Amino acid sequence: MGAGHAHKLYRHGHTPVHELPPHCKLAAVLCFVVAVVSTPREAVWAFALYAALLAAVAAVARISPGFLLKRLVIEVPFVAFALLMPFVVPGEQTELLGVSVSVPGLWGAWNVLAKGTLGVAASVILASTTELRALLLGLQRLRLPPLLVQIASFMIRYGDVISDELRRMSIARRSRGFEASGVRHWGVLAKTAGALFIRSYERGERVHLAMVSRGYTGTMPVIDEVTATRTQWAHAAALPVLALVVCLLGWTV
């Protein structure tokens, strides 16, 4: 899969969470999210327990609350959507802070915020304790279609390549005295985008030819075989199993 590839979310460490095999963590997060989504929205206490479980995992992984909260900013668009629901969803009305809002809309907003925030937090913890290369190996180990794994791998690597290319083009523009300050400069920015696309396409062709010349036939060689012991699976299963118990209690209590 190539050399190790770190990302901005990753926090280097040697905690029990970091040392779990990536496919164990991927399976655990997926099962946890399924349990959270399956929980009835009326079971407010259940979501508090889910948050406590994630807080415990973050503490074991030595991820600070500040770091986690900063990364949760990515869900701001969903928060904005949820805040509109009490005003646009029809149904029984109630008073909240002197404003008439929809009861079904309030429940819908709570449902989106609670489940979305927990899902994003679980994903941030996963990304903070697992390198991108390890995530790809984990997906491969979980028998995700090889073509999808390759697409994800190339996307991750070419994302950085294209970002670097765009940065160099931006430096070149500024060195020539160009500063985008209004609508009249949109034409220059559009030409930049077109040039970036052409350069990226040509680079991709060169890389593909180089891979074919080295024997690439459509599948990537597996350099590292990632395995997990029963103990590691048991440790990874602790989070989703506890979440499943909470989910079942949410439907019965």
Residue 244 in tokens = 């499943």
Dist CA 84 CA 198 (whole Å): 41
Dist CA 17 CA 20 (whole Å): 5
The tally of CA atoms less than 13 A away on the side-chain side of residue 253 is 14
What's the whole-model pTM score? 0.79
For the four alpha carbons of 170, 176, 179 and 184, in that order, the dihedral sign comes to negative
Mean pLDDT of 114-122: 94
Q: What is the pLDDT of residue 199?
A: 83
Given a cut of 60, whether residue 18 has pLDDT beyond it is yes
What percent of the chain shows pLDDT beyond 90?
Answer: 36
List Cβ neighbours of 27 (8 Å cut-off, separation of 6 or more).
142, 236, 240
Residue of higher predicted confidence among 121 and 137: 121
Listed as own residue / partner, the contacts of 177-180 with beta carbons closer than 8 Å and 24 or more positions apart are: none
List Cβ neighbours of 43 (8 Å cut-off, separation of 6 or more).
249, 250, 251, 253
- Residues 200 and 158: beta-carbon distance below 8 Å: yes
Number of Cβ atoms within 10 Å of the Cβ of 8: 7
Mean pLDDT of 209-223: 77
Residue 10 in tokens = 């990753």
List, as one string, the DSSP characters of 213-234: HTT--SS----S-----HHHHH
Q: What is the pLDDT of residue 3?
A: 42
Given a cut of 80, whether residue 28 has pLDDT beyond it is yes
Write the pLDDT tens digit of every residue in 171-193. 888 887 777 777 777 787 788 88
Mean pLDDT of 73-83: 83
Residue of higher predicted confidence among 160 and 109: 109
Q: What is the pLDDT of residue 39?
A: 95
Choose among 54, 82, 80: nearest CA to 68: 54
